[in-house]
Amino acid sequence: MKKDIVKTKNWLLDFDGTLVDSMKYCAPAVVKILDENGVKYRDDIVSFITPLGMKGTAEYFVEIGLKMSYEELEKETNDRLVPLYENVITEKKGVKECLFKMKEAGYKLYILSASPHIMIDPCIKRLGLADCFEKVWSSDDFGMGKTNPEIYRLAAERMGTTVNDVTFLDDNMGAVKTAKEAGMQVIGVYDISSKNNENAIKDIADGYIYEISELQEALFN
């Protein structure tokens, strides 16, 4: 852990790349849609679209030249990704132990994911993590992506608190930066998909972990 952290009661957790090892499957599958349609894209496309949510990603893909309607892209994405969430994707090392220990200790745990419920809900259930969380939110539930600071204020409000009493965990640079600007305490999480932004995330965040066991150690030892 990079710095000492304030032990807030409420924790808002990203899902993909933070709790589950999904980015190695999902990112290539989504980018492949652009490749198959001959659409050129920026070098950091994965980290750029990750916090946008389905609607934001679709709007961006159309903006850069993808000739698909939102409905067509949503179906194509779901057809490729939902089976992975239902059958393949696993939690990262130590996640289950840490979450259950935090829950038992009285911490309130929430999820805020840019992925839709059709993906994250069956995955959480299959992995046996559903009982850990007070609420599971997709950015779709707020009608905005995770690069909008308002989503963090609204999430805190739904928790019955303020951003100052929430710690946010995420592996994505855009989400980390925005949550910090919104007023939350932020802990960056290492994922291979965001390796290029590792140092930048460390500079912004209040703490940084490579494995969830580091968070468990910081909270309980």
What is the per-residue pLDDT for 10? 98
Distance between CA atoms of 63 and 65, rounded to whole angstroms? 6
pTM of the full predicted structure?
0.91
Segment-wise mean pLDDT, segments of 10 residues, the chain, 221 residues: 77 97 87 94 89 85 92 91 96 97 97 96 98 97 95 98 97 96 97 92 96 94 82
Q: What is the pLDDT of residue 108?
A: 98
Q: What is the pLDDT of residue 58?
A: 87
Distance spanning both ends of the chain, measured CA to CA = 13
Q: What is the 3-state secondary structure (H, E, C) of the chain?
A: CCCCCCCCCEEEECCECCCECCHHHHHHHHHHHHHHCCCCCCCCHHHHHCCCHHHHHHHHHHHCCCCCCHHHHHHHHHHHHHHHHHHCCCECCCHHHHHHHHHHCCCEEEEEECCCHHHHHHHHHHCCCHHHCCEEEEHHHHCCCCCCCHHHHHHHHHHCCCHHHEEEEECCHHHHHHHHHHCCEEEEECCHHHHHHHHHHHHHCCEEECCHHHHHHHHHC
pLDDT of residue 1: 60
pLDDT at 4: 65
| pLDDT for position 52 | 85
Phi-psi region of 133 (alpha: psi -120 to 50; beta: other; left: phi over 0): beta
Tell me what pLDDT residue 174 has. Answer: 94
Res 3: pLDDT: 58
